[in-house]
Amino acid sequence: MRAEYLLRRLASAVLVIVGVVTLTFFAVRLTPSDPARLYAGPRARPEQVEALRVRLGLDRSLPEQYVRYLANLLHGDFGDSFKTRRSVREDLGIFLPATLELVIAAYALALCIGIPAGIVAGAQATRAFDKATGVAAVLGASAPVFALALLAQQIFFNQLHWLPLNGRLSADVSITHPVTAITGFWLLDTALTGNWVAWRDVAAHLILPALVVAIYPLAIILRMTRNSMVDALRQPHIVVARAKGLPARLILLRHALRNAILPVLTVAGLSFAYAVTGSVFVEVLFRWPGVGAYMADAIVSKDFPPIMAVTLVSTVIFVAVTTAVDVVRAVLDPRV
């Protein structure tokens, strides 16, 4: 991989981030609302609201506010929430790990099921297993997330009573075995502190939302793996390998999968980046304390700093993942 390609990808990533920051800033600032009134509270007098408007810099022109916002960003300052008056950076330190834990668990499930099932479906094209996985993938990719969440809650909580309904930790466990936050990833934190009672409870709360988040990427990864395997198995070198009598398993895993994995890698990376911002419905319905629920509450309240901060962080994650995928593809396939 040439350094020129890497520099081009990094430069385009920076431009995307700056563009999203700019568009988000002016979009939320042009929204008809009064951040100073929200910050001051409903009982504040007009002179107090005006003083806050000056203190927050809202009396300045939009270009001046934009330059000031960029300067604060360079110092890692996302500002304070107008509604809660807490530091947005501190809030992200609490909510972002919860979302990442949910998405990582969902993607571990999607990859562990989607890739093997796609390989088998591709090797058995047009057979019963291939047709069954094809129908399941179409249903999984097209079903609304909120409907899947409600269905999962109805089955596993209301009917079977196997899993908790929502939240990240049961109320009684939070009192008897509280989680000591170290990384913000509670499965890891409880394991590091040996708090296995809380670990089991956290894992139980994670299963349902992770399952719902995993369904869409699982369906996409499964079908992409299947289609890539079908194309790879039709290549001339695979035909030659079969003619030489090489074992089918060796042909499938060593020769065909190597060529089929590149498009799967791209789709998996894009789906992961999308899920970080696309899990809002899941977090709201399961009362999962992540950035999705945090941003949903900020949008309802027209609380600008959290909206812009979550948008920026989500964009950085999306761009970082897609850039990393492109770099890995360039390493594996120099033709890129």
Q: What's the pLDDT tens digit per position in 257-280?
A: 777 777 787 787 777 777 776 677
> pTM to 2 decimals?
0.81
Q: Which residues contact 313 (CB under 8 A, 6 or more apart)?
A: 92, 96, 291
Band the pLDDT of 334: cuts 50, 70, 90: low
Domain for residue 149, yes or no?
A: yes
Verify that 99 and 71 share a domain, yes or no. no
Question: Which of 44-58, 66-80, 169-183 comes out lowest in average pLDDT?
Answer: 44-58
Domain for residue 253, yes or no?
A: yes
Rounded Cα distance, 192 and 142, in Å: 39
Verify that 72 and 203 share a domain, yes or no. no
**Higher-scoring residue by pLDDT: 100, 281:** 100
Verify that 45 and 158 share a domain, yes or no. no
Verify that 223 and 328 share a domain, yes or no. yes
Q: Which residues contact 329 (CB under 8 A, 6 or more apart)?
A: 262, 265, 266, 336
What pLDDT score was predicted for residue 201? Answer: 92
Query: For residue 80, what are the β-bridge partners?
Result: 87
Rounded Cα distance, 330 and 6, in Å: 9
Verify that 279 and 237 share a domain, yes or no. yes
Verify that 156 and 292 share a domain, yes or no. yes
For 80, list phi and psi in degrees, rounded to 5: -110, 150
Verify that 73 and 201 share a domain, yes or no. no
Token pair in block for residue 64: 């001046």
Domain for residue 59, yes or no?
A: yes
Verify that 117 and 201 share a domain, yes or no. yes
Which SS3 state, helix, strand or coil, does residue 61 take? coil
* Domain end call among 77, 104, 133: 77
Find the domain containing 43 and state its range: 36-77
The tally of domains found in the chain comes to: 2
Verify that 66 and 164 share a domain, yes or no. no
Verify that 321 and 179 share a domain, yes or no. yes
**Whether residue 206 has pLDDT greater than 70:** yes
Domain for residue 50, yes or no?
A: yes
What pLDDT score was predicted for residue 261? Answer: 76
Domain for residue 310, yes or no?
A: yes
Verify that 43 and 170 share a domain, yes or no. no
